[in-house]
Structure 1
Amino acid sequence: MNSSEQPASAEVRIRTVRAEQVSVGDRFITRHGTPSAEVRSLRILPDSFGTPALVEATLASGHKATIACGSSIRVHTTAPAPLLSYEDLQALPVEPESPEAVLLSIAEGYPEEPAVLEPTARLARGVNLKAGAHLEALYDLAHRLVVDLDDRAGAWRLLDILTALEFDGNFGRWKSVESALALAAFLAYDGGDYDAADRYGQLVRQRDHVESDPLQAKLTAELRQRELDQPNLFDREVHRAVAGRDADAERQWRTQRLGTLLYLLAHGGSNTLDAAELRRRIHHELNALRPGRSGGPWQQSS
């Protein structure tokens, strides 16, 4: 490193945290609004019955500060925002029928499931439906509810939020909405609601007609048809992961394959894979991805 270069410093924020969430390096906000010396060490002091009662912080200045367990304090900190516990989530004030309320309602059924609680904790403070990362997190949770937890009712509550969003010209944000529409189309058809399945499919295909230049629209249509007729289903990657007994890699590639199959089905199939074959393959991928699968010939040959 050149002498003129300085290491990037972590961003300092003022945050209200519970006593148990104070970290070494934090600075308390004093009564005068100025930061204290850094916290150098922490320990928990119990009451007479052994229950944690106080957090004692020793500062760089040598002073000690005590905070009652369960109380909150404002600090200057570089630590990332802590994930909320299930109990913290239940105490959050949310607007009825808001995306945050939907998340908390779903979390009630999974008080000890990190795959549900972690994204809920990240989003429950406020869902921004204009933020691509938030849309992606909502879709990923819906996908996990369907694939891992076989909770289609919970997934539908998230899909209803995403599929109500209109294409605004931002393809980055639309990717998660498009994935949600494709999953919704499959679930609707699988549940016997063929009209809804067709409606979701039409919404997926609406992006196909956003190009206003006739020549560019023709070229785009030709490219899209080639993608539909010759899709990358990651066969080589899945085979390699299965042969190597790499469960994480297999899951990653099968998840991408499932997304491609759902997209193809939402388009009504193609010249090489009709809708019936796509539905069969989708059911196979769901079974292969679901925890506790029993294996069988598909696991070796797909």
Structure 2
Amino acid sequence: MQTPQPAGPVYVRSVRAEQVRPGDRFITRHGSPSAPVTSLRVLPDSFGTPALVEATLASGQKASIAYGSSIRVHTSTPTPSLTYEDLQALPVEAESPEAVLLSIAENYAEDAGMVERIGKLARGVNPKAGAHLEDLYALTEHLVVDRDDRASAWRVLDILTEIPFDGNFGRWKSVESALALAAFLAYDGGDLDAAERYAAVLRRTAHEEQDPVQAKLTAELRQRQLDEPNLFDREIHRAVAARDPEAEGSWRLQRLRTLLYLLAHGGSRTLDAAELRRRIQHELRALGSPGGRPAWNAS
């Protein structure tokens, strides 16, 4: 007799033994699904600590799984949102970037978006992965702009600004943004020496292109960016006119990054350092207001 198949969508995912639910099907060693689970019970060890999860299947068979271990199942239950308790269960080394991220998550245990974003990174930060660096900087930016949590932002900046330049300018872009933001925050906090150190690293790395032809082209492009910066005025005005706060916020973030970059280079031909700082503060206020804040999600 063929085992009835579940109605609706079926998901294949790993769950902890204690998260198995009636109706789930284990994936057998041959790759096919077992008969569905009909009941479950937790068996303790001699000291009363949960040790095994015993599942009874529709076929009458029983399966025992170590409590806390993971098993792959066919299930009709969608993947749940990550919780702070899930983050706490992640194995991380003390004082590692992952440990820093988990300690920040403790302050946002009830914030699903923050937990999801931090959870994505806390599984393992790879400083050679451009996407990881982008996510770290996005988290930093969110902490500063949307949360006004500079203390936590500094902890992420300390991770990013310690990453050395390895010749990959594409990957370096997120570190460069972090250095520019760190320079501004340090100055704004009264630490002028630290502000200059961060800015100096940014400026020095900008001249490390090895190919002389490419170095000349890069220098010319950088000078144009300094002398004629694109501050996205047209795009922001268009978004305001269209009453599209999400688009406005996204363009304002681009403007903020440009202003921070210009400030780290000491200003430009058209905007001196004092004016840049004034504009940066304006953008932070605009982005922090309910109407000027871009949507921030964990995807």
Could you say which TM-score interval applies, normalised by the shorter chain?
0.7 to 0.9
Residues 168-247 of structure 1: pairs in structure 2 closer than 5 A: 168-214=166-212, 216-247=214-245
Quickly say closer, same or farther: Cα 1:138–1:88, change in 2 above 3 A: same
Alignment-derived partner of residue 37 in structure 1: 33
Residues 104-143 of structure 1: pairs in structure 2 closer than 5 A: 104-143=102-141
Shift in Å at residue 45 of structure 1? 8.6
Tell me, in whole angstroms, the C-alpha distance in 2 between the residues paired with 1:246 and 1:291: 14
Q: What value does the CA root-mean-square deviation take over the aligned residues?
A: 3.6
Tell me, in whole angstroms, the C-alpha distance in 1 between the residues paired with 2:22 and 2:277: 51
Tell me, in whole angstroms, the C-alpha distance in 2 between the residues paired with 1:201 and 1:13: 48
Contact 1:182–1:201 (CA under 8 A) maintained in structure 2: yes
Q: Which amino acid aligns with 1:218?
A: K
Alignment-derived partner of residue 3 in structure 1: none
Contact 2:140–2:156 (CA under 8 A) maintained in structure 1: yes
Contact 1:19–1:67 (CA under 8 A) maintained in structure 2: no
Compute the TM-score of the two structures, normalised by the length of structure 1.
0.76
Task: Please identify, of 14-23 and 280-289, the stretch whose mean Cα deviation from structure 2 is larger.
Answer: 14-23
Shift in Å at residue 207 of structure 1? 2.9
Quickly say closer, same or farther: Cα 1:294–1:176, change in 2 above 3 A: closer
Quickly say closer, same or farther: Cα 1:167–1:77, change in 2 above 3 A: farther
Q: Which amino acid aligns with 2:121?
A: L
Quickly say closer, same or farther: Cα 1:210–1:75, change in 2 above 3 A: same
Tell me, in whole angstroms, the C-alpha distance in 1 between the residues paired with 2:153 and 2:185: 10
How many residues end up aligned between the 2 structures?
A: 271
Q: Which amino acid aligns with 2:31?
A: P
Give the 3-state SS of the residue equivalent to 2:181 in structure 1. helix
Quickly say closer, same or farther: Cα 1:221–1:38, change in 2 above 3 A: same
Alignment-derived partner of residue 85 in structure 1: 83
Q: Which amino acid aligns with 2:277?
A: R
Shift in Å at residue 46 of structure 1? 11
Contact 1:100–1:123 (CA under 8 A) maintained in structure 2: yes
Tell me, in whole angstroms, the C-alpha distance in 1 between the residues paired with 2:61 and 2:14: 20
Quickly say closer, same or farther: Cα 1:294–1:133, change in 2 above 3 A: closer
Contact 2:55–2:62 (CA under 8 A) maintained in structure 1: yes
Q: Which amino acid aligns with 1:144?
A: H
Shift in Å at residue 216 of structure 1? 4.4
Shift in Å at residue 67 of structure 1? 8.9
Tell me, in whole angstroms, the C-alpha distance in 1 between the residues paired with 2:119 and 2:149: 19
- Cα deviation, 1:55-83, whole Å, max 9, x if unaligned, reads 99988xx8898999x85541167999765
Q: Which amino acid aligns with 2:156?
A: L
Q: Which amino acid aligns with 2:94?
A: P
Quickly say closer, same or farther: Cα 1:214–1:100, change in 2 above 3 A: closer
Identify unmatched segments of 5+ residues in structure 1: 1-11, 48-53, 296-302
Q: Which amino acid aligns with 1:74?
A: I
Alignment-derived partner of residue 97 in structure 1: 95
- Cα deviation, 1:91-126, whole Å, max 9, x if unaligned, reads 323211111110111011111123321111112222
Give the 3-state SS of the residue equivalent to 2:33 in structure 1. strand
Residues 151-170 of structure 1: pairs in structure 2 closer than 5 A: 151-170=149-168
Alignment-derived partner of residue 300 in structure 1: none
Contact 1:265–1:275 (CA under 8 A) maintained in structure 2: yes
Shift in Å at residue 19 of structure 1? 5.1
Tell me, in whole angstroms, the C-alpha distance in 2 between the residues paired with 1:218 and 1:36: 60
Q: Which amino acid aligns with 1:257?
A: R
Q: Which amino acid aligns with 1:34?
A: H
